[in-house]
Structure formats: C-alpha cells, structure tokens
Amino acid sequence: MQPRLTLKSVVLCFALACGNASADDSSEVSATEAAAAPREAANLPALEAAAQRGDVPALITLAAVYERGEGVERNLLKSNALWCKAAVRGNAAALLRMGQIYGSGREVMRNEGVASLLIAKAAELGNERAKEILSLISRGVGSVMPECMNERLPEPVEAKPVIKVRGDIAQLVQRWAPEYSIDPALVLALIGTESNFNPLAVSPKNAQGLMQLIPATASRFGVKKPFDAVENLKGGLAYLRWLMSYFKGDVALVLAAYNAGEQAVERYRGIPPFRETQQYVKHITNVYRKATHPYQSDLVAPSGRMAVSFSPAGRTVERSSM
C-alpha cells in the first residue's frame, strides 16, 4: 500500500513552499498564463482594473505577477488576496493554489484542514493535480473556508429575453387583441414562446398553430381551422380572455393554466410544479413584466367549472362551486 504523507510534505514536494513557485508548478495555471505574467506586468493598470471587476483571467495573471515579482516588487500578501478572489469565483486552479498556500503557511496561519478543504473543492471541479494531491495525503478535511472567501459576489443580472416578432403577425395581434380585451404585448410574448410566430407549428403534444391550441381547446373555442392564423389567434385570445376572468387577472396563473390547463392550476392551488410550466411562466413574465391584467368579471364559466379566488402574493387558488 502506498504510504500516505502529511499535507505539508506533499505541498513541499510540489515546490510551493515559501512561495518559491516556478512557471510549471502545481498552481495549474496554464502555460500561456504563466508565460504572460512578465509581459502583463508592463500593463498593470489595465490588469488591475480588470481584476477590480472580478475578471478571473486578470486575477490569476496578476496573482502570478506579484507572486514571482517579475516586473514589479514581489508581494505575497497581495498575490494571496488575488488568488483568493479567483477562488471565490469558482476557479479550480485558484482553489488549489489557496490550498497550497494554507498547507505551507505562506504569509498565512498554516491550517491543514482548510488546505485539504480547498484542495478537495478544486478536485471536485475536475482539477487533476488536486486529485493527485488528495490521493497522497492523510488528512482531515476542514469545514470552514478562509475569511477572504466570504466575499459576496453580486447577483447575476438576468438578461431580458428578446423575442423576434414577425411584422405580419404583430399587425394581426394589434388588430384583434383589443377586441378580446387582452394586452397585445402579452399576446406577442406568448406567441413568441409558443410557436415562434409560425402559424403552421405543431408540438409533440399536437398543439397546433400560432397560439398552439390543442384540439380540445380549439373545439372549445370554436376554432375549425387551427392553421389559419386569424382563426387560431381568435381562439387563443378567447381562451386567454376566459382565463383572465377565471383567475381574476393574475398573469402568472393565467400563463400556467394556458400551458398546463386550469385543472392543473386548481389541483396544485397555484403554478404546478412541472419544470416545463414553471420555465414557461418565467420566460414569458421576463418579457411581459405586469403581474396583473384587466379582466371581465361577468364572463360565465362553462358548466361544471369552478369559480376561483386567490391570494396574488402566494399564488394560492381557493375554489368554490358555482
């Protein structure tokens, strides 16, 4: 059986001790990044600016520059901080480097538990050198990351989806949506998601036409020619108008019902836990940002349906027999 070594001895074997790292050591920084460090030292202002923005390649390059002291005064404290910022952002090479730093005690209090935890994280992300080190050491993995890794990263800004609207379809929507008291912007967002403005679209579930009406819904709202753009649009608008009345203008519930059926919304007392439906609602509401929509309260539900009321905040449907 291969003897297991202490973490410090392994780190020393991999030539990090006291920061005396070479261009091909266990930091796993690519050869290109390592070779670039001396050249980049001449462009420190741009590198510093990119690092301030959290750019990982800039953080790694700058960490290597200060680690080696090539073209700048060597500064291991600053190098450590830059490695840590890259590690916070999930860079496996930086996580491994931080593990080596804590394993050797380079300008930090040596802590083998923290070092093992960092190296294990790098190995989880697929870093081969980290896996190699883990296979050699006898360790107790710590549970607390270094304080420098408590940096809170800004929440990613979700880009608003862009839907390419067909001009001829948009004209039809602008013409007919007001006739059914439905906001054209909501209809365009729905059509873009449902059929991508293709009047001949057919889904695997046999939803047909511009607004992807299944045969039962088409029949329910008098659509005889589902691939006729105007007839399909009118049927879909009639269904949306009815759903608006049924769910009292709650856009998310209306969309969930359009995708999964009003019975599913009733059954789950809100947006059903179907991945497709939840993504469908999220996608359209990222385009159409209004949570509520005007509705006609005097529409009579078909026989056997239920009247509904709900709490908009909790998306909870309360039902009562009509």
| CATH number, domain containing residue 32 | 1.25.40.10
Distance separating alpha carbons of residues 246 and 300, to the nearest angstrom: 9
Query: Do the Cβ atoms of 271 and 277 come closer than 8 Å?
Result: yes
Verify whether residue 194 is a known catalytic residue.
Answer: yes
Q: What is the pTM of this model?
A: 0.48
Structural domain of 251: 167-321
What's the pLDDT tens digit per position in 164-209?
Answer: 668 889 999 999 999 999 999 999 999 999 999 999 999 988 999 9
**Inter-axis angle of helices 44-52 and 56-68, to 10 degrees?**
130
Tell how far CA 102 is from the center of its chain: 32
Query: Do the Cβ atoms of 60 and 29 come closer than 8 Å?
Result: yes
Distance separating alpha carbons of residues 238 and 197, to the nearest angstrom: 18
| Neighbour count for residue 281 (Cβ, 10 Å) | 24
Write the DSSP symbol of residue 71: S
**pLDDT score, position 167:** 85
Last residue in a domain, options 117, 150, 183: 150
Low-confidence ranges of the chain (pLDDT < 70): 1-42, 137-143, 155-165, 300-322
- 119-145 CB burial, b ≥16 within 10 A, e <16: bbbbbeeebebbeebbebbebeebeeb
Distance separating alpha carbons of residues 127 and 87, to the nearest angstrom: 13
Write the DSSP symbol of residue 310: E
Place of tokens 């039962």: 216
Instruction: Please check whether residue 118 lies inside any domain of the structure.
Output: yes
Distance separating alpha carbons of residues 193 and 203, to the nearest angstrom: 12
Do 128 and 12 reside in the same domain of the chain?
yes
Instruction: Given the residues 28, 194, 231, 262, select the one marked as catalytic.
Output: 194
Total number of domains in the chain:
2
Do 105 and 179 reside in the same domain of the chain?
no
For position 262, which CATH number holds?
A: 1.10.530.10
**pLDDT score, position 213:** 96
| Neighbour count for residue 9 (Cβ, 10 Å) | 12
Distance separating alpha carbons of residues 67 and 311, to the nearest angstrom: 58
Do 202 and 302 reside in the same domain of the chain?
yes
**pLDDT score, position 230:** 95
Instruction: Please check whether residue 155 lies inside any domain of the structure.
Output: no
**pLDDT score, position 304:** 36
